[in-house]
């Protein structure tokens, strides 16, 4: 088994955190911390075979304890925003943690990104894997039901696969995702505006000035939000556009084709290094975030200094604020039902 671990520090309440390293025969490695399931490091080759770390993060646990960017973390119970921090299920209203103004973001301040997960290494046919589990108690961050969550992180021959599953004893909302920030250049601290992004989606969720969905879908073709043909992230990011102004750049949920099963949600290519990344998922949407609020001068790994747009996020997920919009596919999980979703990050060079 190509897997090892070492201590990564302790949380403020004294809980020990481990850092696991997965490796494959191609020389790729992934470091995953039990704190928030954080993807601390992920290496991938350039067109000349040179390996480099392609995700943003911190050298020590302290960086993650203080982090406000969700670098590399698993997020839930519900990724993205819930308007008004109010969840209505079966006629009952649950008040959730307000951690984004008057709204709820990424499961709340005490969401899954800030919890210590149980880790168990395994070997699978696809490669070395780490099974992360967490038990979220009834009422945590305002959510109903005791929720058992599992995330299986597998380092494959050409990337990283995440398989999520969950079960509950009471009706609740579940919409899990991962939040790595990618910069494929191998030059940490540089921006990602030269990355060429393709998203095979003709529609995205319309949002208001606080980035809460209005309940409408809007066509992106012919607008600065159109990535169907592959465009540099920085090519139109400063154009006069209300959606871009509201998000201070790209922070938009794209609706993928309705085909069930694993499908490509996006691909991104960095032309200098030749590194490329495909994102595949079983989820119906992908949130593209261009790192608009990374603090300038933020100390990162290996002496790197991050700033605005130093990395990009592609977060497969269900419809944002689904509980607040009857027309959106729901993210409700009930007792006896099984929640299962997959995200696959597949690297290529050209």
Catalytic residue among 103, 104, 106, 179: 179
CA dihedral sign of residues 322, 326, 263, 269? negative
- Report the C-alpha gap between 183 and 312 in whole angstroms: 7
Q: Is the peptide bond before 111 cis (omega within 30 degrees of 0)?
A: no
- Report the C-alpha gap between 262 and 70 in whole angstroms: 25
- For residue 232, the surrounding DSSP H or E stretch is strand 231-232
- Report the C-alpha gap between 157 and 346 in whole angstroms: 9
Q: What is the 3-state secondary structure (H, E, C) of 265-328?
A: EEEEEECCCCEEEEEEECCCEEEEECCCCCCCCEECHHHCEECCCCCEEEEEECCCCHHHCCCC
Catalytic residue among 140, 270, 278, 315: 315
Among this protein's residues, is 179 annotated catalytic?
Answer: yes
Catalytic (active-site) positions = 179, 315
């Amino acid at each position: 088994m190509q897997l090892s671990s070492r201590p990564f520090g302790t949380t403020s309440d004294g809980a020990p955190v481990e850092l696991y390293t997965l490796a494959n025969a191609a020389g790729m490695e992934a470091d995953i911390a039990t704190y928030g399931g954080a993807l601390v490091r992920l290496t991938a080759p350039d067109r000349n075979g040179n390996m480099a770390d392609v995700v943003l993060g911190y050298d020590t646990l302290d960086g993650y304890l203080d982090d406000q960017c969700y670098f590399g973390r698993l997020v839930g119970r519900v990724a993205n925003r819930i308007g008004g921090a109010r969840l209505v299920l079966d006629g009952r209203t649950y008040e959730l943690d307000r951690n984004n103004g008057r709204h709820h973001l990424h499961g709340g301040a005490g969401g899954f990104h800030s919890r210590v997960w149980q880790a168990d290494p395994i070997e699978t046919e696809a490669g070395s894997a780490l099974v992360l589990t967490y038990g979220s108690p009834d009422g945590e961050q305002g959510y109903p039901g005791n929720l058992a969550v599992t995330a299986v992180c597998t380092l494959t021959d050409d990337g990283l696969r995440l398989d999520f599953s969950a079960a509950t004893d009471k009706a609740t909302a579940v919409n899990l995702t991962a939040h790595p920030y990618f910069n494929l250049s191998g030059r940490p601290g540089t921006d990602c505006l030269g990355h060429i992004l393709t998203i095979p989606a003709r529609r995205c969720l319309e949002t208001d000035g606080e980035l809460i969905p209005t309940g409408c879908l809007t066509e992106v073709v012919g607008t600065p939000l159109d990535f169907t043909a592959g465009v540099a992230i920085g090519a139109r990011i400063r154009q006069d556009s209300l959606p871009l102004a509201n998000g201070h750049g790209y922070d938009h949920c794209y609706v993928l084709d309705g085909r069930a099963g694993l499908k490509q949600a996006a691909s991104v290519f960095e032309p200098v290094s030749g590194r490329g990344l495909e994102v595949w998922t079983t989820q119906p949407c992908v949130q593209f975030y261009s790192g608009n609020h990374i603090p300038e001068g933020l100390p990162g790994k290996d002496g790197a200094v991050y700033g605005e747009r130093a990395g990009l996020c592609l977060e497969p997920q269900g419809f944002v604020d689904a509980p607040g919009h009857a027309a959106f596919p729901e993210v409700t999980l009930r007792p006896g039902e099984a929640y299962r979703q997959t995200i696959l990050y597949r690297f290529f060079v050209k």
